Structure 1
């Protein structure tokens, strides 16, 4: 999986190291050359010096051929521009962003860009949203027999009826967040780009859910 990360601060560098350690192709962008020092000597990814606004830098980082882009610079407005460029110009399948001011969350989600706004768990959350095989439950019921998960749907599912993701007695779609608004899906609701879906899953069917979500990236 090729992931471009704009911003080599605390979150960006930690996420890059984790993804690279798992043999992903990681490309970091930052305009401060000193930020490279946040990366360990054996970091297998690439560091591109420059502004994430720059098409030249995005091109050099291979954004057009990437599977995902994560915008986690120190400024919310910069993250929004980078994320929108990746989504609308480069058509990157998965685009995520970090937000420092919670008041800006609705703006991002209005463009269909999932966000993370709590620094304490940003790396873990972004990692989980990128690589669905690392799903962890939001809520556990009973003694762990039923689990509640939220996940960004991969692009290959866009346009498919959400009921296609359900398996009787095993997996059920219970909620969808679309462009910042939550809805309860009907039997005819189709998946849209950027949907964040809440699944109720039997613990014994977790592998099946991962197969749905990981299929396009081949993980």
Structure 2
């Protein structure tokens, strides 16, 4: 997976190192050349100096072939602009952003950009959301310990009761959209082809939820 990270502060550099250790292709963009020192020497050719909303800089980092873009600069305005550029201009499949001012979270949400807030959980959340990017994040709670995510159910789960996917304290089915109509499922509601299901899930249980879906997603 090729990931471009805008912002090489503590969060951006930590996320970059973790993803690179897992053999992902990671590129870093930051307008401050001194932040390069937060990265190992192996990142020498993968650090791009400049503004993350500059198309020239983004294209030099390979955004046209990126699988994901993460905006974690120190400024919300920069994060919004760069995330929108990645999503709307370059059609990057997965775009995530850090929000410093909680009052701006709704703006990101209206743009269809999942947000991460708070320091303690930021790297963990971004890492989990990148690895499980087929699960669409809708909303985060607290410091991001719990997420609402949506996914179309794979065909092999047809006929199983939706409550079978519940895992105590980790995963809960809270909504299903079927033929364009949203309902709160009853205990007896069975999965049907094309169901779009909303799960409340602990961020640490994303891998377990993905296990229900992997067979059809093939990733």
Q: Same fold (TM over 0.5)?
A: yes
RMSD, matched Cα: 3.6
Give a deviation string over 1:36-87, Cα, whole Å, max 9, x none: 0001224487111111111000101111110000000000011001001111
Size of the aligned set, in residue pairs, is 185
Matches within 5 A, 1:65-104: 65-104=65-104
Kindly tell me: are residues 18 and 129 of structure 1, through their superposed partners in 2, closer, same or farther at Cα, counting changes over 3 Å? same
| Residue 187 in structure 1 maps to residue 188 in structure 2 | no
Name the structure 2 match of 1:198. 199
- CA change 1:196–1:6 in 2 (3 A) is farther
Structure 1 regions of 5+ residues with no counterpart?
A: 139-148, 176-183
Aligned 8 A contact 2:16 2:26 in 1: yes
TM-score normalised by structure 2 residue count = 0.71
**Residue matched to 1:62:** 62
In the alignment, which residue of structure 1 is the partner of 2:109? 109
1:209 aligns with 2:208: no
Deviation by residue 1:138-176 (Cα, 9 ceiling, x = unmatched): 9xxxxxxxxxx84756xxx7xx6x58585515437834x
Given that residues 165 and 173 in structure 2 are in contact (C-alpha distance below 8 angstroms), is that contact kept between their aligned partners in structure 1? Answer: no
Distance change in 2, residues 1:210/1:47 (3 Å): farther
Cα distance in 2, alignment partners of residues 185 and 196 from structure 1:
4
TM-score (norm: length of structure 1): 0.71
Q: Distance in 2 between matches of 1:165 and 1:58?
A: 40
- Which residue in the other structure is 2:122 paired with? 122
Structure 1 runs (4+) greater than 2 angstroms displaced: 41-45, 149-153, 162-167, 169-175, 184-190, 205-210, 212-215
Q: Structure 1 50/207 Cα, relative in aligned 2: closer, same or farther at 3 Å?
A: closer
Q: Is the 8 A contact 1:53 1:82 kept in 2?
A: yes
Question: SS of the residue aligned with 1:120?
Answer: coil
Measured at CA, do residues 21 and 44 of structure 1 come closer, stay the same or move farther in structure 2, by a change above 3 Å? farther
Contact 1:67 1:92 in 2 (8 A): yes
Change (3 A) 1:82 1:166: farther
Q: Which residue of 2 aligns with 1:143?
A: none
